[in-house]
Amino acid sequence: GAGVSQSPRYKVAKRGQDVALRCDPISGHVSLFWYQQALGQGPEFLTYFQNEAQLDKSGLPSDRFFAERPEGSVSTLKIQRTQQEDSAVYLCASSPGQVFSGANVLTFGAGSRLTVL
């Protein structure tokens, strides 16, 4: 597609429910990132994929968070047993290659806003 697409745009969950957030990166993009943006704050890194390999998951806040990208394109971020502190905007981004360069920059989606009641 022309841009990074995320769904759903808005999700309301009751505490304890599981949620799944989907990211469709730009076609052919090798790198995919997930970020968490709490209200009034900057985005915080969660995890990074290079094709289907999850190379860095150091930012995942707990073992309730899980991300996958099984075929190297679409990615899903799953949050189990949601808590109120999980309320945030979850941003997905993709880039064409592996190494930062003039052409290899991140393109972000509009985000999925999760509200946990």
Partner 1 sequence: AQSVTQPDIHITVSEGASLELRCNYSYGATPYLFWYVQSPGQGLQLLLKYFSGDTLVQGIKGFEAEFKRSQSSFNLRKPSVHWSDAAEYFCAVGAYGAAGNKLTFGGGTRVLVKP
Nearest to 114 by CA among 22, 51, 50: 22
Closest CB to partner 1 among 51 and 73?
A: 51
> CA 76 to CA 25: how far, in whole Å?
11
**What mask, x for binding partner 1 by CB under 8 A, covers residues 28 to 47?**
---x-x-x----xxxxxx--
Q: Does 23 bind partner 1 (CB under 8 A)?
A: no
Q: Does 68 bind partner 1 (CB under 8 A)?
A: no
According to DSSP, the residues that pair with 50 across neighbouring strands are 31, 53
> CA 92 to CA 78: how far, in whole Å?
13
Residues that bind partner 1 (CB under 8 A): 4, 31, 33, 35, 40-45, 48, 50, 55-56, 58, 91, 93, 95, 98-102, 105-111
